[in-house]
Amino acid sequence: MTDFTRKKFGLISLGCDKNRVDAEKLLARIRDRGCEITNDISKAQVLIINTCSFLADARKEAIDTIIECAAYKHGGLEKIVVTGCLPQKFIGEIYDELTEADVFLGAYDYGRFFDALEEAYEKGRSNFTHSGGDGFSCGRVVTTPLHYAYLKIADGCDNRCTYCLIPAIRGRYHSYPVEKLVAEAEGLGDVAELILVAQDVTRYGTDLYGERRLCALVRALTALENIGSVRLLYCYPEMIDDELIAELRDNPKVIKYLDIPLQHSEDRVLKLMNRRGTRKSYLELIGRLREEVPGIAIRSTFICGFPTETEEESAALAGFLRQAKLDNCGFFAYSREEGTPAYRLKGQIAYAVKKRRVKNMYAVQRGVSLERMNGYKGCVLRVLCDGICDDGSGFYGRAYFSAPDIDGKVFFNAPFAEQGKYYNVYIDAADSYNLYGRTEDYEE
């Protein structure tokens, strides 16, 4: 038997923050085995690469990372372990070809990690994809700054959007029990901001309890003394109901922010995507949220160049952005994924056209965002300090309308600021993405 306590383990996690949570739980299993974890991958004997395979670009990034990391085998690296979505969906295509990797585990196989690794040490390689054994685990080795963390409340998806591989990779939507999620959140220690994630957080509980339980979960989490606030990501627009709006409005520990992936604005394209909304219903939802939850920040994501999308429909999406005036948006070129219904659609659009439309949408949104950001000049905002600027020139953090990594930052000068603490920052300047300011006690 291999003595794994004598080996150092490193990890690279690619893709979304749902993947990050999976990786953190795997690290906890390794820690609990008595093994050493290193942040310096050049010193690892076992390197785990937790992968995404949602889009072709993500698969390429994963494979490139695995091949690049194989160079460490000329030093002390003994085994590369590939986990997550890439083997979960594509193990048949990659096992024989990707010989740089020694161990493969799918998205639900983390409980077999040491079994798979032991076999690789005995036989050279192992494939434990789809072997199971990954029961719910509360343990985490948090890889974010300690003042914020993600909580994955469900996995899989039932929405069946025609462009999306997630149901084929992660399976049907399945919620995790409230009591286990509360225990996991308690185990994170003092967290200024807990960020709830799933493919669709608004569907939480429908499979497990026969009804939506997101608000009940939010109330249970915000009742914890160690949780300072809760932020919601990835809310399906048709599932945002009266109860959720009231929770956003009335619960002081719920951040007045929603990430609502709309994907498009035009009815014909939305129908082809198997999205249930319409331009009219989206605008009505945005208007209602702003009326009932004053000051709410709304971000979204959109796909450009979906099959058969016309220039007129692309221009209409730009018009929607100007009308909706969302706080922030991400735009992605449609990726043709084999195995999805949209893959078979006629009218596939040239890559150059898709990229041009993405560029155009970002230009439009920059104008919208700049107008919104300029509205904060002269205001004092409550800012959560995330750290010191790389060049040592000051500090950076986020106001309530910014989630980590996907939204802008507030850069500010102060005599002193501590990571994870809140500061009142006077805003002097803005661009389309970031704000710049100072605390009241700062003297130039």
Annotate 243-310 with DSSP letters as a single string.
HHHHHHHH-TTEEEEEE---B-S-HHHHHHTT----HHHHHHHHHHHHHHSTT-EEEEEEEES-TT--
Burial classification of residue 220, based on how many CB atoms lie within 10 Å of its CB (0-12 exposed, 13-18 middle, 19 or more buried): middle
pTM of the predicted model as reported, rounded to 2 decimal places:
0.95
Domain boundaries, the chain: 4-127, 148-374, 380-439
How far is the C-alpha of 68 from the C-alpha of 51, rounded, in Å?
A: 14
- 381 sits in which H/E element: strand 380-388
* β-strands 154-155, 174-175 pairing: antiparallel
Options 3.40.50.720, 3.40.50.12160, 3.40.50.10490, 2.60.120.10; CATH for 4-127 is: 3.40.50.12160
Q: What is the pLDDT of residues 291-315, one digit of tens each?
A: 999 999 999 999 999 999 999 999 9
Side chain identity, residue 378: G
Which CATH fold would you assign to the domain 148-374? pyruvate-formate lyase- activating enzyme (3.80.30)
Quick one: pLDDT at residue 442? Answer: 80
How far is the C-alpha of 222 from the C-alpha of 231, rounded, in Å?
A: 11
Side chain identity, residue 329: C
Options 2.40.50.140, 3.20.20.70, 1.10.3720.10, 3.40.630.30; CATH for 380-439 is: 2.40.50.140
Residues of the chain under the 50 pLDDT cut: none
How far is the C-alpha of 444 from the C-alpha of 441, rounded, in Å?
A: 10
CA angle 214, 220, 223 (to 5 degrees): 135
Q: What is the pLDDT of residues 34-65, one digit of tens each?
A: 999 999 999 999 999 999 998 889 999 999 99
Rg (CA), the chain: 23
